[in-house]
Amino acid sequence: MYVTKIRQQRRLAGVLNYADARRRAWKVLPRLLFDYIDGGADDELTMRDNVERFGELRLRPRTGEWVPVPELSTEVLGTALSMPVLTAPCGGMRLVHPDGDLAIARAAARAGVAPVVPSGGGYSLEEVAASAEGPRWFQLYKFSNRAGMEGLVERARDAGYHALVMTIDTNIAGNRERDFRNGFGYDLRINVRNALRLGPQMARRPGWAFRFWRDGMPFELPNTAPFGSDGRAMSLTEMARSGAESFSPTWHDVALVRKVWNGALVVKGVLAGDDARQAVDLGADAVVVSNHGGRQLDGVPAAIDALPEVVAAVGGAAEILLDGGVRRGGDVVKALALGAKAVLLGRPIVWGLAVAGEAGAVHMLELLRAQIIRTMCLMGCPSVTRLGAEWLWERPRG
């Protein structure tokens, strides 16, 4: 245990920001897996915009204000958070690190935030719930087997998940060309075909390959047990090749879930005000402004650009969260100033996980906390609950 901790500290030494973590992860992961996380759809315009549009916003500080310790804690849908952050639902994390979703949930608990546990995780929702104390949300995809999907909702309720996050922007998979070029087919089992195709990549990352082999090369998605063709959990490969209709969500599906779930309901993947209003009319308690990290439809607005329209359309009838492009604490502050209650953090957590497992995920969360604190102090703003449009300069004309 002590030796492992020393190794983690060495791996995290010098990781001061997102770019540092990404560079370290590149040295750990095989290229096909790194690009699967790092890449987006088509020309990756939206993925880049998610980050760049944050950089075009300018903060409007108040000088002459002394804020020694700004208040970061907040509450979202009754979930107390030590800072306005949740970890985003990211599938396939057991490929990144053997502890995968368990490590992310434990890291979130240690940081006092909530994880949004994915349907497509490498551990069952019950295993994740048992791995860490603290509040947790569960992300739900639409599945063609309605009874099985309702069963998944019931399991989330029984396991103590506070909120259900229904993803609605996955009609079909986005055109992720990096994956095609690298031969990433959701099947990395050691066999003759993969040895010829992927062997050189794996040989360059022996540490990752050994951990993956020792973990049993898991490809099953335990939460999908009711949906597999043979009655067992679906593999990553089977889920990837399933027909589009099986996973194409509609407003009808949101209404069905609302009937069987009596907890907080969140709709994720909204970019337009009309859609946000529709979600609220169907009973959503919150919406997540998100373009799936630029991994679905390329050419749509950056999440931060879509945020003001959604906030105006909802008009306080539901809480608003933002997912996409957050790289520093200043980005969190900007999102809150434009009306978000909290943000979801995806790639930064994944890079930390790749570098040092649970310790790496905690490191990235605490880096973000320190950045938020520094930004708030320099702005003269005493609390995240005080943030509004008056803390930003007029946004640039696009």
Just list the catalytic residues.
292
Whether 340 contacts 320, CB under 8 Å:
yes
Determine phi and psi for 64, rounding to 5 degrees: 75, 10
The two tokens of residue 208 are 């990752």
Burial of 366 per CB tally in 10 Å (0-12, 13-18, 19+): middle
Q: What is the DSSP string of 164-217?
A: EEEE---SS----HHHHHHT--S----SHHHHHHHHHHHHT-HHHHHHHHHTT-
Q: How many CB atoms lie within 10 A of CB 95?
A: 24
Q: Which residues of 118-157 are buried (b: 16+ CB within 10 A; e: fewer)?
A: bbbbbbbbebbbebbebbbbbbbbbbeeeeebbbbbebbb
**Rounded-to-integer distance, Cα 322 and Cα 342, Å:** 7
Alpha-carbon distance of 120 to 117, in angstroms, equals 9
**Cα Rg for the chain, rounded, in angstroms?**
20
Please answer whether residues 347 and 314 qualify as being in contact, where contact means their C-beta atoms are separated by less than 8 angstroms. Answer: no
Is the separation of the CB atoms in 263 and 155 below 8 Å? Answer: no
**What gap in Å lies between CA 322 and CA 114, rounded to an integer?**
15
CA dist 38 and 335 (Å) reads 22
Backbone torsion region of residue 59, taken as left when φ is above 0, otherwise alpha when ψ lies between -120 and 50, otherwise beta: beta
For residues 65 and 378, what is the distance between their CA atoms, to the nearest angstrom? 9
Query: How does DSSP classify residue 90?
Result: -
C-alpha triplet 277, 114, 343: angle, nearest 5°: 50
Task: Collapse the DSSP code of 226 into the 3-class scheme (helix H, G, I; strand E, B; otherwise coil) and give the result.
Answer: coil
Nearest-angstrom CA–CA distance, 237 and 239: 6
